[in-house]
Amino acid sequence: MASDRIGFIGLGRMGGPMALNIHKAGFPLTVYDVAEPALQPFRSRGIGIATSPLDVANKAEIIFACIPAPEISLAVAFGEDSISKGSAVKVYLECSTIGPDYIARIAEGLAPTGIAFLDTPISGGIPGAEQGTLSVVASGDPGALERARPAMSSYAKHIFHVANTPGPAQIAKLINNMLSTTGTIAAFEGMVFGAKAGLDVEALLDFINVSTGRNVATMQKIPANILTRKFGGKIETGVKDLGLFMKTAEKFGIKPYIAPRVQEVFRDAIDAGFDKETMRIVEFMEQRAGEGVMVKGKPAALEHEAGQIGRKL
């Protein structure tokens, strides 16, 4: 095992499990988060708790950051107590989805410090973070990536290196997120339509999942989160990522068609009060479809009354 000490900044729903996997793999670890509840799983395990990003950077050679917003990423990199002033840090990995413009600002700011900067956004959701099966798309110095790879492998099953400078990995991640998000919204619309028409939604899913309409939503999200009514996800993250996708595409002279329509669905859902969990957009669609429509379990058979197709409740 590499002898590098590891730091982790941002212990939210993704960062927390990722950092715990690094700890379980045996790496010496120091962590930091502004929220005390996020620190408790680490404090209870005797893991070192830092007082600031700078404190992490004075104690760890390799630092991972999993941050919820681009502005916070900038503050962690260059604020008053930032990693840029650290005495120990050699490699800094931004695991967040913040877009290539913010990545370029961080890379430019860190260049004079000699800290190697890697753009390493993640995909796979909370289950992937917990199980150590995330996918990472990385861009930046190949030597720095190899130095960080042992720790990364504790939370990632797949690591793809797409460029030798930071930024392109963000574009790849934004494309992935757009495809995932638009596919999810399309799947929700299809399932609500099926429920409204009285179809057995589980049978409909079984058909779709061995046919050409299948995607990650029909195969994973709907069975695990919608049929069970567990929901989940942060709706503001979807709005952020779609916005970054559109902004970045337009800089390349591409005017997106699909992403703006899907972001419109997100904003309409938020305006209607579904402003917390991404998966509750299906409830917004159910509401729009009419009273009693619910994508849940096995609905009753079709009824034909006065030429109308309805659903038994």
Residue 94: in which H helix or E strand, if any? strand 91-94
Burial 185-221 (b: 16+ CB within 10 A, else e): bbbbbbbbebbbebbbbeebbeebeeeeeebebbeeb
The token duo for 7 is: 């730091």
Structure tokens at 23: 């700890």
- Is 64 in contact with 18 (CB distance < 8 Å)? yes
Q: 3-state DSSP call for residue 51?
A: coil
**CA angle centred on 280, ends 279 and 281, rounded to 5°:** 90
CB atoms closer than 10 angstroms to residue 51 = 9
Q: Which two tokens stand for residue 123?
A: 């995909």
173 is catalytic: yes
Q: Strand pairing of 302-305 and 308-311?
A: antiparallel
SS3 of 188-206: the string is HHHHHHHHHCCCCHHHHHH
Side-chain half-sphere of 178: how many Cα atoms within 13 Å? Answer: 21
107 backbone φψ class: left, alpha, beta (φ>0; ψ -120 to 50): alpha
Q: Which of 173, 196, 221, 240 is catalytic?
A: 173
Torsions phi, psi of 34, nearest 5? -80, -15
Query: Which residues are known catalytic residues?
Result: 173
